[in-house]
Amino acid sequence: LGLPNSLQSLMKSVDSPIIDFYPAHFGMDMNGQRFASSAVALLPFIDNDRLLATLEPLFLTMTSAQQKRNQFGEAVLLL
């Protein structure tokens, strides 16, 4: 499954209008922690309006199965 092809280039292409949301290198705040796995990744804030403006036209290119997968569904409790 994974990310639809029409959206993948947004994370990879240097020409993507939102490539700055996906930095290749970022800082880590150890905040007194001993192991890197316990650190907090210092990532840029995401401009929600710019993200949605970029994604909206691409949603129309998604297949019906991808659009359905992108919706909220019923909550299921597994016991």
Predicted TM-score (pTM) of the model is 0.74
pLDDT of residue 23: 94
- Kindly state the DSSP code that residue 21 receives in the 8-state scheme: G
pLDDT of residue 1: 56
Binned average pLDDT, 10 residues per bin, the chain of 79 residues: 86 94 94 93 96 95 91 92
How many C-beta neighbours within 10 Å does residue 21 have?
17
